[in-house]
């Protein structure tokens, strides 16, 4: 069964997602661009759909900067 997430009225198959670019940090535009491993045209989400996907991604993602910091205390 496909690994799906629902964004608004859109069902996104996570098995086919190659990467998601958040344009806000680069261009200050409130949009996400979803690229697919199949080579299909990228999907652009804006407004509420972009906010919903961004929120979900932030809850399931691991922040590598925080994960790389040494733990304090100990030996």
pLDDT by residue (tens digit) across 12-57? 999 999 999 999 888 888 999 999 999 899 999 999 999 999 999 9
d(CA 48, CA 35): 19
d(CA 14, CA 11): 9
2-16 average pLDDT score: 92
pTM to 2 decimal places: 0.77
Phi and psi of 6, rounded to 5°? -100, 125
For the chain, the structural domain boundaries read 4-59
């Amino acid at each position: 069964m496909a690994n799906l997430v629902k964004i608004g009225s859109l069902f996104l198959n996570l098995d086919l997602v190659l990467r998601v670019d958040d344009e806000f940090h680069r261009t200050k535009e409130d949009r996400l661009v979803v690229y697919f491993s199949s080579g299909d045209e990228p999907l652009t989400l804006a407004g509420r759909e972009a906010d919903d996907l961004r929120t979900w991604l932030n809850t399931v993602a691991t922040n590598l900067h925080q994960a790389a910091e040494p733990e304090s205390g100990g030996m």
